[in-house]
Amino acid sequence: MLVKWTRCTVKDRRGFERGQRKWAGLPGEPGFLGQGGGWSRSRPDVVHLFTLWESRAFYDSFMARSHDRLAASQAGTFTGARVRLFSHRFDVKTGFEPRFTDVDVVRVAHCRVRPDRVENFALMQEKVWNPAMAGSPGMVRGLFGEAPGDEFLILSMWRAAAEHGKYRTERIERLSLRARTAADVAALTGAVVDLEPSWTV
């Protein structure tokens, strides 16, 4: 599975949201699995979108054929678009499904890992972080993805912001120490995203 993560700063909110509805045509595209997104909690003008594809080949085919036509309606409504592609490495919790209809919040963490610490970082994600997240009330599903250049994405889906907030305040610091995350990670950015139900495809 391929995960496309898009971030941008919106300058015309109404125009952007109107254009976002055009993406409802995605289910007709070969290899398309699902899409969801919304607004960053900490930066209200920033949008995060997550699009899931069966494979890179299906995604590349879509980009060559249909993408520009769908994207045209949002031209001029945003700036600073950044796109990253990640290959699914393993599930956070079990049985990841590419859908957004039963969650309200997505937490995205983007990690650049020191080259000599990549395997340890992945192991700690599997042995320390995953069980903690999987056992947290309100955490529905998630995935761990990787990209070339020692870059990783952890996407977790939550029923409500309050449940994610409780996990964050009660457990993050302790888990970071146990996993020795600071020794592995060169840079970490992230966001908590309030999903817009009308953008879910």
Residue 169's pLDDT is 74
* Each residue's pLDDT tens digit, 30-81: 999 999 999 999 999 999 999 999 999 999 999 999 999 999 999 999 999 9
Give the pLDDT band of residue 166 (cuts 50, 70, 90): confident
SS3 76: coil
Q: Residue 175 is part of which domain span?
A: 2-199
Nearest CA-CA partner of 54 in 103, 9, 2: 2
Between 28 and 48, whose confidence is greater?
Answer: 48
Say whether pLDDT at 168 is over 80: no
CATH number at residue 161: 3.30.70.100
Residue 83's pLDDT is 97
Contacts (Cβ under 8 Å, ≥6 apart) of 67? none
Nearest CA-CA partner of 49 in 59, 57, 40, 41: 40
For the whole model, what pTM was predicted? Answer: 0.94
- The number of CA neighbours under 13 Å toward the Cβ of 101 is 5
Give the pLDDT band of residue 167 (cuts 50, 70, 90): confident
199 touches 175 (CB < 8 A): no
Say whether pLDDT at 183 is over 90: yes
* Each residue's pLDDT tens digit, 127-158: 999 998 888 889 999 999 999 989 999 999 99
How many folded domains does the chain comprise? 1
Mean pLDDT of 163-189: 86
**Which run of H or E residues covers position 139?**
strand 139-147
